[in-house]
Structure 1
Amino acid sequence: MSDTVVVAPSSRADVYRKITWRIMPFIVICYLCAYLDRVNVGFAKLQMLSDLGFSDAVYGLGAGIFFIGYFIFEVPSNLILHRVGARRWIARIMITWAIVSALTLFVKTPLQFYIVRFFLGVAEAGFSPGIMLYLTYWFPAKKRGFALGVYYIAIPLAGVVGGPLSGWILSAFTHSTVMAAWQWLFLLEAIPALIAGFAVLGLMVDKPHHAKWLTDDEKWNVTQAIEREDAAKTTHASARDFLADRNIWKLSAVYFCQIIGLYGISFWLPSIIKDSGLTNVSLIGWLSAIPYLVAIPAIILTGMSADRFRSRRMHFSVALVIGAAGFAASGYVGHQPALAVIALCVAAAGILSALSLFWGMPSAFLAGTSAAAGIAGINCVGNLAGFVSPYMVGWLNVTTHDNRIGLYAVAAFMVIGAVMVRAISGRLADR
């Protein structure tokens, strides 16, 4: 094939449209399964604690231990994926996390709960950064904002689907004579991840040149676009050079502040709606889905706008500040459910839009093994906020006897992240 092949702009758009439709829907389904298995313990808690005699302290520690396992094994997992290929490693991750999640139904003691949550974090470590690394094999930076936006639709979808589904399982199996409803919850919600894991082996394609559904010209042009871009990116010669890269640490700090906001929404959204004056649990569950529904178009439109105007940092900062304002307002509205839901819609749209925009920044200037390690390292440091955020909000609420203070603290972290992102090189981050 000649190296002088010229592709018209319309043809380039067509090939990326084809790639998007081929790989993104399945990736979204996989991430939805991951997020459900990560947070379904929050729904199981409604019955599990009383059945096993666990305290809130036991539950809180067990929920947080997930992120410790995740933190320790995330970078090694992504380095392995870069070496052996996404298809085999993503399948391994999904199958093992499905098995570990299902094993939670056998928990009887706090120690068993801690162990299974730790190993669930170990099993899932590398999935999210692995997918983000995988997208760098297919989309150049100017196309990746939209792809990441589509990918992160899985989080609001999990909020829309997970609440009603988990509530239905807990209700439908309340009188089961086989095992408790919360045990059924862990078993049944592990099945989609297990099926998807085996499907990955047959459906996922490692890189464009392996794709039978692309023509030879399409494979060549997509691969050349990525290789030309990678040639201008950073590849670290050693671990020491990698750790000395200030952009890695700046991005980690920004992401930590952002994840404080994400888990502020994930863990506290139903409580905020309840505190606004509602007592009907079913109604709270359905209202909790509305902010996630609003976030879906916001994620897509923000990603498309960032790609078009090449202003990723500005879009990120604005989205995060909007999310912070919505989150702070949700604690200010008092006993007004409608205003609380509106404020949470603003918060979810801002937080989740910023999340999808963030990952275009490290992948814009890292390549090869540095991209694998950098994306995983930033993700695992940032996800320590999943351990910090719920404890910080709970501690502030108890200490001050004012549920608004914890929400304001989350919003403050988000504003700090929006400001700190300006310290990252615009030439790199905005590509």
Structure 2
Amino acid sequence: MENTIAKRRWIRLIPVAFITYSLAYLDRANFGFATAGGMGKDLHITAATSSLLGSLFFLGYFFFQIPGALYAANQSARKLIFWSLILWGGLATATGLISNVNALIVIRFMLGVVESAVMPAMLIFLSRWFTKTERSKANTFLILGNPVTILWMSVLSGYLIRSAGWRWMFILEGLPAIIWAFFWWRLVNDQPADAKWLTGGEKEALAGQLLLEQADIKPVKNYAAAFRSKTVILLCLQYACWSIGVYGFVMWLPSIINAAPNSNIVHTGWLSAVPYLLAIISMLATSYFSDKTLRRKIFVWPFLLVGAIAFYGSYLVGPNHFWISFILLIIAGGAMYAPYGPFFAIITEILPGNVAGGAIALINSFGALGSFAGAYLVGYLNGKTGSFNASYIFMAGSLLLAAVLTLVAVRNKKV
């Protein structure tokens, strides 16, 4: 019966979770293509304002992580994500209709607010449906929505901008989230107990396995106690540093490629997709071996270290050797994405269920601050220095620190 339950959960829930997170990522990451594709010129956006706009999403993303996660944990992740889909799809579509920078500032911030609860809510949702031996893989399939989306979005956005302009790109890429909200509502349940497609015996077997896992975790009284935990604090700092590298890379890679000799927006789209192809492969492999061995830490820090070395290598190579630098950026992208599944499995395996959701939200909110810093400071350094070298050093240092913090945070944990 266990094998039947396993297959039905993966087939029923993982594609839905994947598509939902893919649409969230589509509507936050296409901004980098609009910037490279003429939006700045049309709206008279300065370099400094462009950096601010690229990072404002993450400031909104920071503020509502914990309230959203608490609602998902104590009320309904299903309902929260349904309304988030509709609202972020509307805001993304509205981005294609604005005519001034002030409206764009408001929309970017509000898009971050609306999407802030999605990641912790989805992780809480999956933790109620998948056991310890499946969790890294389940998390990975969710977060695969990130690189997979950027892979096809990079190509599609390049063509849309060339044929219809950046406004239509936002409109056509925003509407699917609104439509998908109703599929989400129809296809998922908050918990196994609510699912009509499981028998009573199947529900009891899954609930028993999840309850048994919680018995081995040291109790934590409440959210305040969890938030004061040294491990949680260090993981917050680690994820902030990691996110500096990831989102400095995601938001500014199109501009880096577009600045190469003889480049255009379509070429930029195709080349921007390549690092995410490696990211998909590395994430799947890492999650597979992490779940097979039930080891987490060893599948996190080495990849962050490789990413740091690759960024530093791009700095050493310099702008006159574009293709060598680009290969190193591909390696950096693949390495930065690889550890997501094992990393989020760590949190649910060292903290009890009553506080794990809040801890995920706190850690993810610090990741949002790191994302804000990465998106803003990478853009600022690029504009201030007139090259990408300083930002490569900045991202390399951030990933190196993230690798060290991983080792320190979980050195005494059996993960």
TM-score (structure 1 length as normaliser): 0.89
Is 2:133 the counterpart of 1:142? yes
What's 1:347 paired with?
332
Q: Distance in 1 between matches of 2:7 and 2:238?
A: 31
Please state whether the residue corresponding to 1:289 is helix, strand or coil.
Answer: helix
Matches within 5 A, 1:15-414: 15-45=5-35, 46-173=37-164, 181-233=165-217, 236-274=220-258, 277-334=261-318, 335-397=320-382, 403-414=388-399
User: How many Å apart are 1:198 and its aligned residue?
Assistant: 1.4
Give the share of equivalent positions with the same residue, in percent. 31
Q: Which amino acid aligns with 1:28?
A: F
Q: Distance in 2 between matches of 1:172 and 1:405?
A: 34
**Structure 2: gaps (5+ residues):** none
Q: Which amino acid aligns with 1:98?
A: G
Q: Deviations over 1:31-52 (max 9, x none)?
A: 1100110122222222222222
Asked if the contact 2:158/2:265 (under 8 Å) is kept, the reply is: no
Q: Distance in 1 between matches of 2:265 and 2:414?
A: 43
Q: Distance in 2 between matches of 1:63 and 1:341?
A: 22
Q: Distance in 1 between matches of 2:201 and 2:213?
A: 18
CA RMSD between the two structures: 2.1
Please state whether the residue corresponding to 1:325 is helix, strand or coil.
Answer: helix
Q: Which amino acid aligns with 2:34?
A: A
Q: Deviations over 1:262-288 (max 9, x none)?
A: 113202323444566452432232122
Q: Distance in 1 between matches of 2:113 and 2:385?
A: 35
Q: Which amino acid aligns with 2:392?
A: L
Q: Distance in 2 between matches of 1:332 and 1:237?
A: 50
User: Residues 38 and 280 (structure 1 numbering): CA distance in 2 closer, same or farther, change over 3 Å?
Assistant: closer
Q: Deviations over 1:232-282 (max 9, x none)?
A: 335543443233212211110110111112113202323444566452432
Q: Which amino acid aligns with 1:407?
A: Y
Q: Which amino acid aligns with 1:240?
A: A
User: How many Å apart are 1:89 and its aligned residue?
Assistant: 1.4
User: How many Å apart are 1:87 and its aligned residue?
Assistant: 1.6
Q: Distance in 1 between matches of 2:339 and 2:104?
A: 33
Asked if the contact 2:189/2:195 (under 8 Å) is kept, the reply is: yes
Q: Distance in 2 between matches of 1:360 and 1:31?
A: 18
Q: Which has the higher contact order (CA 8 A, sep 6+)?
A: 2
Q: Deviations over 1:377-428 (max 9, x none)?
A: 1101111111111333344445555532321221121111111111224564
Q: Distance in 2 between matches of 1:127 and 1:78?
A: 8
Q: Which amino acid aligns with 1:347?
A: A
Q: Deviations over 1:292-338 (max 9, x none)?
A: 11221210111111112222111101111122222222333343444
Q: Distance in 2 between matches of 1:370 and 1:124?
A: 21
**Structure 1: gaps (5+ residues):** 1-10, 174-180
User: How many Å apart are 1:343 and its aligned residue?
Assistant: 1.6
Please state whether the residue corresponding to 2:339 is helix, strand or coil.
Answer: helix
113-122 vs 15-24, which deviates more? 15-24
Asked if the contact 2:218/2:351 (under 8 Å) is kept, the reply is: yes
Asked if the contact 1:316/1:358 (under 8 Å) is kept, the reply is: yes
Q: Distance in 2 between matches of 1:405 and 1:57?
A: 16
User: Residues 234 and 198 (structure 1 numbering): CA distance in 2 closer, same or farther, change over 3 Å?
Assistant: farther
User: Residues 403 and 381 (structure 1 numbering): CA distance in 2 closer, same or farther, change over 3 Å?
Assistant: same
User: How many Å apart are 1:168 and its aligned residue?
Assistant: 2.1
Q: Which amino acid aligns with 2:14?
A: M
User: Residues 273 and 330 (structure 1 numbering): CA distance in 2 closer, same or farther, change over 3 Å?
Assistant: farther
Asked if the contact 1:273/1:340 (under 8 Å) is kept, the reply is: no
User: How many Å apart are 1:351 and its aligned residue?
Assistant: 0.4
Asked if the contact 1:278/1:337 (under 8 Å) is kept, the reply is: no
Q: Which amino acid aligns with 2:83?
A: R
User: How many Å apart are 1:107 and its aligned residue?
Assistant: 2.4
User: Residues 68 and 390 (structure 1 numbering): CA distance in 2 closer, same or farther, change over 3 Å?
Assistant: closer
User: How many Å apart are 1:63 and its aligned residue?
Assistant: 2.6
Asked if the contact 2:227/2:359 (under 8 Å) is kept, the reply is: no
User: Residues 135 and 234 (structure 1 numbering): CA distance in 2 closer, same or farther, change over 3 Å?
Assistant: farther
